[in-house]
Chains A and B, each alone.
Chain A
Amino acid sequence: MDTAGAEIGNELSMDTKVVDTKWIGKRTVRPDGADKVTGRATFGADFTLPGMLWGKVLRSPHPHAVIKSINLDKALALPGVRSVMSGADLTDFPLDTPVMVGPADMRFVSRNVMARDKVLYAGHAVAAVAATSSSIAQSALALIEVDYDILPHVIDVEAAMRPDAPVLHDYMRTGGVTPKPEVASNIANRLEFKIGDPEAGFAAADVIVERTFRTEPVHQGYIEPHACLISVAMDGQATIWSSSQGHFMVRNATAKMTGMAVGDVRAIPAEIGGGFGGKTIVYLEPLAMVLARKSGSPVKMVMSREEVFRATGPTSGSVNTVRIGATKDGKITAGEATFRFQAGAFPGAPARPAAMCAFAPYDIENVLSVGIDVVMNRPKSNAYRAPGSPIAAHAVECVVDELADKLGLDPVEFRMRNAAKEGSKAAYGPTFRRIGFVETLEAAKSHPHYSAPLGANQGRGVACGFWFNVGGESSAQLNINEDGTVTVVTGHPDIGGSRASMVNIAAEMLGIDYKSVRAQIGDTSTIGISATTGGSRVTFAAGMAVSQVTEKVIETLRDRAAKIWDIDVDAVIWEEGEARPAGTNAGEFEPLSLAELAAKANATGGPINGQVSINAQGAAPAFATHICDVEVDRDTGRVEIVRYTAIQDAGRAIHPSYVEGQIQGGVAQGVGWALNEEYIYDDAGQLENPGFLDYRMPVASDLPMIDTVVVEVANDAHPHGVRGVGEVPIVPPMAAVANAIEDAVGLRLTDLPMSPPKVLAALEKKG
């Protein structure tokens, strides 16, 4: 059965002219599908080499301590152990100068992958060994002697901000404030975005709502733990096989931290078993590189799930205050927000994007949005799907809902009256070009879900979300093979089916069956520089590169046909997969197919291919509106999601199934964040739930079918209208669920997760 050619369902409303219709917008079978359903696909932990060693990491048992000494001798003496290392084996970056690799500062990344001088969280890597077997490596860890001087620790964000808090970094002075502080603080950075006159805006308001919200750190929860294999040649050149969202990032960061030339490192992307932002930085690769170099043998390292929880991810926990004022007729006059974010052990919480995204869906004249980036003795936070935006939207969308209620307005109608549209100036700077926010609200209002009856203890919530979407470096190569089949190569790990979208674009433009186009991910030596998969950028940026390279190859194909026919290239057109004379004036020639042109390639100038590298510009934001129905069990406090509809502007859905899939997956993660997921620490600074038993992610029976409505308001800056899809679906769910609980049982819950004990306690308190 092949349903690939089936028309997309009538849920799509086309906004602008749609020229691509053969494969773009079709549910084609992904080119890597057979690999993934048969176990043939090779993920990070699936590689082996002859003579390979197993590397293991010793982690700090203390949340905060000075490392007085590390003795690795006994571990190295254990039979089977081939190399040992500590933080001293990595490049020592001076603390006063940033060393950037992409958006990551190697001063901090290096000290995060292995501690130097101080351990900053329980789980912080301290030393590592490589041995002939995994069990010998494990035994060797017990022989490493570390002498610690234990320091007081701090876990809570507000406690970490206090002047008397234990300071993690004595060199750190709060950035973004004047005058520059003279004493060290855990507040790494304060930033703000302001437009208009917020005080005057609040003075003009008839109703003002202000609340403080708390969110806990949640892990990205990819099912594949971090894994890599590294082999180093006698002359120092090295090959990395690893699972990441960006193998160029892996190459560059690893080279930097181990003092290698970038050109001496080849990073080969494994299939990636989920990332959601959590695999945008390295953890194991620099360690495996050092251990491989020292031992002269390939080294494989794989994290346990406990290590994944204790030392990677999560996104920030936070304490946030939001205040919004509106007039009686439902016009928002001012918005103010302060986001206090847990960065973990090193600076870099997504406080900035949170402050930027917070009020972006609304056209508000007076806004002050503040982000505060705070370090404490927790694992360094990492990107998680739309970093910052879900946390900001949780607070803002709950307050917006409460305001609508106080004003007696329908929550969709209230948002409609204030919705950002083309020409609206966002508080974070830009004036929006054409955007599709209003379209998502209209689709919500007219959706049957929005007017469906509710049962006892059931309630309905609405919330909206925003994400910038991004462009950046992308490379694409397109080869016409000897038989006329086509190979497309890009440089971004395919995390959720992006190969299928690249195939759709190339097949559409070439006018050939999508099955004769195959897509692959090139390694760092075989494809031009390509930035990390993330930020909802791949279909936009790589799609643009694939579009341009296909156009270039079509030009070449026309040129080859012109040579064969001995006519001018302008007299040749490319149509339905073949070169044709442009008209009767061009001459009478039988069309030349891709296969015929490929067969004659050497006679007409050699192999036919193209390569394009771009810094993709013109990314356009995406908006979403979600409708959620819950049922609250008054006896247990359990909240069940009974119906969910997610509406989103995708610009153009290149592959509708993977657009819907991104939306459904984002909603599922958001539901987990809303109801169950959280990092739980004890007073000793230890993570109490580093496993899937107590860190409860949604299973299939926790969720209903998630209806999706894809609105298409094309991004004119993209050759196929793409905006970007993956991030925004996780933005609205926490507020949508909270607003639904309020509607069901009249409880305005402000703290996540809204787990059964919390809901039950709130119900009992309310009486």
Chain B
Amino acid sequence: MSKLAIKMTVNGTEIEAEAEPRMLLIHFLREDLNLTGPHIGCDTSHCGACTVDLNGKSVKSCTIFVGQADGADITTIEGMANADGSLHVLQDMFREHHGLQCGFCTPGMITRAHRLLQENPDPSDDEIRHGISGNLCRCTGYQNIVKAIRAAADQINAAKEAAE
């Protein structure tokens, strides 16, 4: 099978690679780029553990071929931390508010929450719950995940206000 030339930006770095056209984006990220933060939980786009940010949208990376991501700007959990190496506020709040138990859904949950807060910077708890309803967590009952996202939103908004 002839390989496909792929160009994309992943976590701020330009990537040029060759991949089988039928390869899914999640397999390309995990196996070719060694980015094992996005996880595979279901192969059918229901669990959200593979969620990444692609051109400003949350995308379940098991649902698209790597070829479809040609030219895309992708952020995975590995690219979430701040430029100075400190944890992104969402990462910090998930840790601080115990928004995880086993931690397997966490990378997808955080990347999804990141986009959610771009879409809706001050969501209600109900809006948070609907906003992450494409991401399954089996450990927490979602309670501390909602709390962590709420706390991150508050911090981001407070910082914005202070800057204005």
A residues with CB within 8 A of B:
1-3, 27, 29-30, 32-43, 45-46, 48, 135, 220-225, 271-276, 302, 304-306, 495-497, 657-658, 660-662, 664-669, 691-693, 697, 699-703, 705-706
Contact = CB atoms under 8 A, between A and B. Distances in A.
Contacts of B91: 34, 37-38
Contact of B104 (A33, A40, A274): A274
12 contacts: A27-B98, A36-B103, A39-B35, A41-B103, A43-B39, A46-B30, A305-B42, A496-B139, A497-B101, A657-B98, A665-B139, A706-B141
A30 B105 contact: no
A275 B104 CA distance: 11
B95 A703 contact: no
Interface centre among B42, B138, B146 (most CB of A within 10 A): B138
B138 A665 contact: yes
B96 A665 contact: no
A304 B94 CA distance: 28
Contacts of B38: 39
Contacts of A276: 138
B69 to A, nearest CB: 18
A46 B36 contact: yes
Interface string B6-45: 0000000000000010000000001000111111111110
Contacts of B40: 45, 225, 302
Interface in B70-108: 76-78, 80-81, 87, 91-92, 94-96, 98, 100-107
A29 B95 contact: yes
Interface of B: 20, 30, 34-44, 46-47, 49, 76-78, 80-81, 87, 91-92, 94-96, 98, 100-107, 110, 125-126, 128-130, 132-146
A657 B92 CA distance: 16
Nearest to A494: B102
A661 B138 contact: no
Given A39-B77, A274-B138, A691-B44, A657 B144 contact: yes
A669 B35 contact: no
Contacts of B81: 38
A701 B103 contact: no
The 10 closest A-B pairs by CB, nearest first: A39-B37, A273-B104, A36-B103, A664-B141, A668-B141, A692-B46, A33-B95, A39-B77, A496-B101, A37-B91
Given A30-B98, A37-B110, A692-B47, A668 B142 contact: yes
Contacts of B100: 33, 36-37
A38 B77 contact: yes
A30 B95 contact: yes
A273 B144 contact: no
Given A495-B102, A660-B143, A691-B46, 17 more contacts: A33-B100, A36-B106, A42-B36, A220-B138, A222-B104, A223-B39, A223-B104, A271-B104, A275-B102, A305-B43, A306-B43, A658-B98, A661-B101, A661-B143, A668-B141, A692-B47, A699-B132
B37 A305 contact: no
Nearest to B23: A135
Contacts of A706: 141, 143
Contacts of B136: 223, 692, 697, 699
Given A37-B94, A224-B39, A276-B138, A700 B145 contact: yes
Nearest to B38: A39
Contacts of A223: 39, 41-42, 47, 49, 102, 104-105, 136-138
A693 B141 contact: no
Contacts of A43: 36, 39, 104
B101 A700 contact: no
Contact of B78 (A30, A38, A668, A697): A38
Contacts of A273: 39, 41, 102-105
A271 B102 contact: yes
A37 B145 CA distance: 12
Nearest to A43: B104
